[in-house]
């Protein structure tokens, strides 16, 4: 049996227990590594086992992330690994072997595995470690070199309780590690302004005239991911306002270079509006040439506060647009509560408007509502002549989409 060393993730390197000796490097005793190590030692002592370990499944291998063993056992070291298919763990997970084997000598498949003889496994208990989404991280296992016919389901249930506890600790630790990585990544993006702004033209088709551009962020940094993922992660770690305002600042720099009768539309969430920092970012720009698109897809609790925050800006000429109308109930609430100047029909509605009578009827209702309330309509995501033809029939003149122009950079002079 070949157990070779594999690198451990940064989140799981310290805090292991090897052969009864704590190796936590002086870290805080409440660290996840120390907690998991203590759980391992408790299980091994409680069940009177020679070895207890937590393994991770990755890349077809089982990696021993945490190990606790008696002084006589030295065959497994933390961060060593072996092929998963050669292990009890894989067979327990897919049901080929039971989670409890009191005597491996009485189990033919166990006796046929080289690892049984290599590690001198006499009895064995193993249960999966699962995260809250059902994903299997690995296993929580323990064994001794002697058979023990006294082992029963009570011992197995004890192991399951510890495995569930360890899974929760590891999941919280992984989440915290992921959040720290996200913050570090966003710090770099914000410090270096490491994103681009592309501008998609908005066309008045009846007059064949450019009326504006929607500013869209693009992130070339690794890991490559859609812009909405960047913004959702920023919201998760408290960077939503900083990232949105950084994009708005960069987007508006080109405004003086664009035709005077055109505007730039920028995206903002209700949460950022409520922070109160938007006026300072917009200060100095001709607000009659700026459109603020509300991007939130969830229901908003405090429309009155949003309206108050925007009131002075709208008096100075800033126009408000509600994005993604027709994509869900939230956008209808935004329209009713915020009384926008512009209603943007969602691309999911437009891309079916020429073939789906329901999409066409909903679009027609929104267009009629806009006429009654004095709002203007802009149709997003127009990609075909057939879609454009139907929009013309519905008296929609302002459109954007690949058919009329793809997002592209515009460089300030």
Q: What is the pLDDT of residues 361-385, one digit of tens each?
A: 999 999 999 999 999 999 999 999 9
- Tell me whether residue 90 is in a domain: yes
pLDDT at 17: 43
pLDDT at 298: 63
- Tell me whether residue 172 is in a domain: yes
- Tell me whether residue 186 is in a domain: no
In this structure, what CATH number is given to the domain that contains residue 139?
A: 3.30.450.40
d(CA 172, CA 301): 29
pLDDT at 15: 38
pLDDT at 28: 54
Of 131, 148, 177, the one marking the end of a domain is 177
- Tell me whether residue 105 is in a domain: yes
* CB-CB contact of 321 with 292 (8 Å): yes
Q: Are residues 12 and 90 in the same domain?
A: yes
In this structure, what CATH number is given to the domain that contains residue 263?
A: 3.20.20.450
Q: Are residues 200 and 266 in the same domain?
A: yes
* CB-CB contact of 287 with 317 (8 Å): yes
Considering only CA atoms, which of 339, 200, 211 is closest in space to residue 266? 200
Q: Are residues 400 and 269 in the same domain?
A: yes
d(CA 258, CA 161): 64
Q: How many domains does the chain have?
A: 2
- Tell me whether residue 293 is in a domain: yes
pLDDT at 146: 95
Q: Are residues 33 and 70 in the same domain?
A: yes
Of 120, 144, 177, the one marking the end of a domain is 177
Count, residues in the chain: 413
Cβ-Cβ contacts under 8 Å for 320 (sequence gap 6 or more): 291, 292, 294, 310, 314, 338, 340, 341, 342
d(CA 290, CA 320): 9
Provide the phi-psi class of 320: left if phi over 0, else alpha when psi is between -120 and 50, else beta: beta
Other C-beta atoms closer than 10 Å to the C-beta of 313 total: 18
Considering only CA atoms, which of 78, 99, 80, 90 is closest in space to residue 143? 99
pLDDT at 325: 82
- Tell me whether residue 183 is in a domain: no
Strand partners, 100: 125
Q: Are residues 263 and 312 in the same domain?
A: yes
Q: Are residues 156 and 215 in the same domain?
A: no
Cβ-Cβ contacts under 8 Å for 305 (sequence gap 6 or more): 274
Q: Are residues 157 and 198 in the same domain?
A: no
- How is residue 377 written in tokens? 């309509």
Cβ-Cβ contacts under 8 Å for 114 (sequence gap 6 or more): 1, 86
Considering only CA atoms, which of 390, 382, 387, 412 is closest in space to residue 202? 382
- Tell me whether residue 265 is in a domain: yes
d(CA 351, CA 383): 8
For residue 296, the enclosing domain spans: 193-409
Check residue 270 and report its DSSP letter. H
Residue in the structure block whose two tokens are 């190590």: 37
Residue in the structure block whose two tokens are 């055109």: 262
Q: Are residues 142 and 206 in the same domain?
A: no
d(CA 101, CA 151): 8
The sign of the CA dihedral 20, 23, 24, 26 is: positive
Q: Are residues 226 and 139 in the same domain?
A: no
Supply the Cα-derived Rg of the chain in whole angstroms: 30
pLDDT at 323: 87
d(CA 14, CA 278): 44
Q: Residues of 238-252 as b/e, b for ≥16 C-beta within 10 angstroms? A: ebbbbbbbbbbebbb
Q: Are residues 29 and 98 in the same domain?
A: yes
Low-confidence ranges of the chain (pLDDT < 50): 4-27
Q: Are residues 356 and 239 in the same domain?
A: yes
Q: Are residues 255 and 399 in the same domain?
A: yes
- Tell me whether residue 399 is in a domain: yes
């Amino acid at each position: 049996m070949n157990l070779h060393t594999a690198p451990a993730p940064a989140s799981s390197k310290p805090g292991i227990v090897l052969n009864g000796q704590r190796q936590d490097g002086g870290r805080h005793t409440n660290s996840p590594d120390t907690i998991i190590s203590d759980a391992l030692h408790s299980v091994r002592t409680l069940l009177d086992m020679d070895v207890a370990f937590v393994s991770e499944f990755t890349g077809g291998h089982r990696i021993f992330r945490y190990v606790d063993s008696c002084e006589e056992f030295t065959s497994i070291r933390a961060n060593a690994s072996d092929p998963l298919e050669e292990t009890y763990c894989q067979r327990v997970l897919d049901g080929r072997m039971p989670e409890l084997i009191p005597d491996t000598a009485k189990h033919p498949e166990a006796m046929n595995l080289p690892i049984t003889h290599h590690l001198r496994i006499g009895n064995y208990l193993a249960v999966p470690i699962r995260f809250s989404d059902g994903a299997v991280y690995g296993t929580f296992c323990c064994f001794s070199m002697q058979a023990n016919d006294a082992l029963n389901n009570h011992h197995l249930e004890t192991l399951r309780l510890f495995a569930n506890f360890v899974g929760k600790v590891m999941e919280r630790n992984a989440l915290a590690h992921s959040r720290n990585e996200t913050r570090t990544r966003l710090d770099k993006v914000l410090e270096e302004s490491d994103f681009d702004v592309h501008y998609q033209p908005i066309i008045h088709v009846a007059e064949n005239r450019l009326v504006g551009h929607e500013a869209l962020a693009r992130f070339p940094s690794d890991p490559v991911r859609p812009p909405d993922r960047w913004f959702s992660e920023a919201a998760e770690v408290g960077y939503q306002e900083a990232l949105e305002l950084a994009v708005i600042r960069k987007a508006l720099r080109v405004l003086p270079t664009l035709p005077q009768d055109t505007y730039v539309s920028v995206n903002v969430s209700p949460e950022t509006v409520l922070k109160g920092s938007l006026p300072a970012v917009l200060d100095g720009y001709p607000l009659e040439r700026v459109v603020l698109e509300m991007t939130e897809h969830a229901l908003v609790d405090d429309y009155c506060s949003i309206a108050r925050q925007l009131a002075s800006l709208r008096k100075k000429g800033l126009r408000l647009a509600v994005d993604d109308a027709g994509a869900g109930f939230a956008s209808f609430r935004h329209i009713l509560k915020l009384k926008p100047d512009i209603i943007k029909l969602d691309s999911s509605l437009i891309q079916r408007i020429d073939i789906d009578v329901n999409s066409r009827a909903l679009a027609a209702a929104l267009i009629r509502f806009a006429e009654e309330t004095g709002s203007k309509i802009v149709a997003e995501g127009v990609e075909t002549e057939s879609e454009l033809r139907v929009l013309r029939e519905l008296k929609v003149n302002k459109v954007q989409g690949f058919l009329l122009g793809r997002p592209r950079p515009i460089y300030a002079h």
